[in-house]
């Protein structure tokens, strides 16, 4: 009889299973800014960002097992001490493991557009979750968002601004490309092809 295949334990389960925020200083072994990435995919942004910013404690959520595991493995090979990868649905775990006012930056790059109307409810940026992210950021904290889908960019900006995020460039205005920013895996393709990317950098009021 064939044996049941045992899947490996989800990456980052010790954090994803918590009911309340951990002591992040103890988890990482050092104090510093705390940043969140939602949907890190193949990990291009998370890994390079952690390499460039060793002072940042970076928590990446990616619910696809292969991506989450590969990103963690590559992070280990790169010797990154400042990266944690959680194979989990950010919408359910973020509210539990980050205290209000604890995050310095939220990164959201190229979230799935969920083309079918019946799938809209799976989109990360919904009014209630936008409120939650605003609450978890520190005053003055940054929300960095990028997308290749213009109408999703417009609607996410509107939801985030309605939730209370401030757009320093004016309501509904996208941010120009900044060559200093770390591109995500998907973004590298667009930078090479010249296809448009819609960017926003919003702030929680100080
Ligand atoms: C279009 S991909 C973009 C990946 C990456 N940010 C990039 O720019 O290359 C979106 C990613 O978000 C992940 N994702 C979508 N919703 C998620 C959720 N609620 N929690 C965790 N990961 C999620 C998907 O599995 C997918 O890898």
pLDDT in tens, 49-66: 999 999 999 999 999 999
Taking the centre of ligand 1 as the mean of its atom positions, its distance from the CA of residue 167, in whole angstroms, is 24
Give the whole-angstrom CA distance, residue 136 versus residue 134.
6
**Which of 87, 89, 112, 120 maximizes ligand 1 atoms within 8 Å of its Cβ, making it the mutation to test the pocket?**
112
pLDDT value at residue 120? 75
- 20 domain-assigned: no
In a domain, 5, yes or no: no
Q: Is residue 56 assigned to a domain?
A: yes
Q: Which ligand 1 atom sits closest to the C-alpha of 37?
A: 6
The pLDDT of residue 3? 75
- Interval between CA 200 and ligand 1 midpoint (Å): 17
In a domain, 15, yes or no: no
Distance 37 CA to ligand 1 centre (A): 9
Contacts (Cβ under 8 Å, ≥6 apart) of 167 = 157, 161, 173, 200, 202
Please check whether residue 190 lies inside any domain of the structure: yes
- Report residue 122's pLDDT band, with 50, 70 and 90 as the boundaries: confident
Residue 138 has pLDDT above 80, yes or no: yes
Look up tokens 């989990």; give the residue: 88
Nearest residue CA, atom 20 of ligand 1?
Answer: 89
180 phi and psi angles, rounded to 5 deg:
-80, -20
Ligand 1 centroid to Cα of residue 61, in Å, is 8
Nearest protein CA to atom 1 of ligand 1, as residue: 112
**CATH at 140:** 3.40.50.150
Quote the mean pLDDT of the chain: 95
| pLDDT over 90 (residue 119) | no
- pLDDT for the residue 190: 96
Would 9 be classed as within a structural domain?
A: no
Q: What is the pLDDT of residue 199?
A: 98
Q: Which residues line ligand 1 (CB under 6 A)?
A: 38-42, 44, 61-64, 67, 89-91, 109-112, 124, 184-187
Rg of the chain, C-alpha, whole Å: 17
Q: Is residue 18 part of a domain?
A: no
Say yes or no to pLDDT of 112 above 70: yes
- Indicate if the pLDDT at residue 8 is higher than 70: yes
pLDDT given for residue 150 in this prediction: 96
Tell me how many domains the chain contains: 1
pLDDT band at 7 (very low <50, low <70, confident <90, very high): confident
pLDDT in tens, 154-192: 999 999 999 999 999 999 999 999 999 999 999 999 999
* Residues labelled as active-site residues: 112
Q: Which pLDDT score is estimated for 96?
A: 98
pLDDT at 81 over 70: yes
- pLDDT for 1 equals 65
Pairing verdict, β 137-147 and 198-203: antiparallel
Instruction: Pick the closest to residue 87 from 15, 144, 187 (CA basis).
Output: 15
Report the nearest-CA residue for atom 27 of ligand 1: 41
- Whether 142 is in a domain gets the answer yes
Do residues 89 and 124 touch, judged by C-beta distance below 8 A? no
Other beta carbons within 10 angstroms of residue 144's beta carbon come to 19
Q: Which residue segment(s) compose the domain that 186 sits in?
A: 29-203
Residue that has been written with the tokens 């757009």 in this structure = 167
pTM attached to this predicted model: 0.96
Residue 129 corresponds to which tokens in the numbers above? 């979750």
**CA of 110 relative to ligand 1 center, distance in Å:** 7
Residues counted in the chain: 206
Which residue's CA is minimally distant from atom 12 of ligand 1? 39
């Amino acid at each position: 009889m064939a044996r049941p295949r045992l899947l490996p334990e989800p990456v980052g389960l010790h954090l994803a299973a918590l009911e309340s925020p951990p002591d992040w200083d103890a988890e990482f072994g050092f104090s510093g800014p705390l940043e969140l990435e939602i949907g890190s995919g193949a990990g291009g942004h998370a890994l390079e960002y952690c390499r460039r910013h060793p002072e940042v404690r970076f928590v990446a959520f990616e619910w696809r097992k292969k991506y989450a595991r590969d990103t963690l493995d590559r992070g280990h090979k790169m010797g990154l001490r400042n990266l944690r990868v959680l194979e989990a649905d950010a919408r359910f775990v973020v509210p539990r493991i980050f205290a209000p006012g604890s995050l310095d930056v939220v990164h959201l790059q190229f979230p799935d557009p969920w083309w079918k109307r019946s799938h809209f409810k799976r989109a990360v940026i919904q009014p209630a979750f936008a409120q939650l992210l605003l609450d978890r950021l520190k005053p003055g904290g940054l929300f960095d968002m990028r997308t290749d889908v213009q109408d999703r960019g417009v609607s996410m900006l509107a939801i985030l601004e309605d939730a209370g995020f401030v757009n320093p460039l004016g309501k509904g205005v996208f941010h120009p490309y900044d060559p200093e920013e770390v591109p995500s895996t998907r973004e590298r393709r667009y930078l090479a092809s010249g296809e448009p990317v819609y960017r926003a950098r919003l702030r929680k009021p100080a």
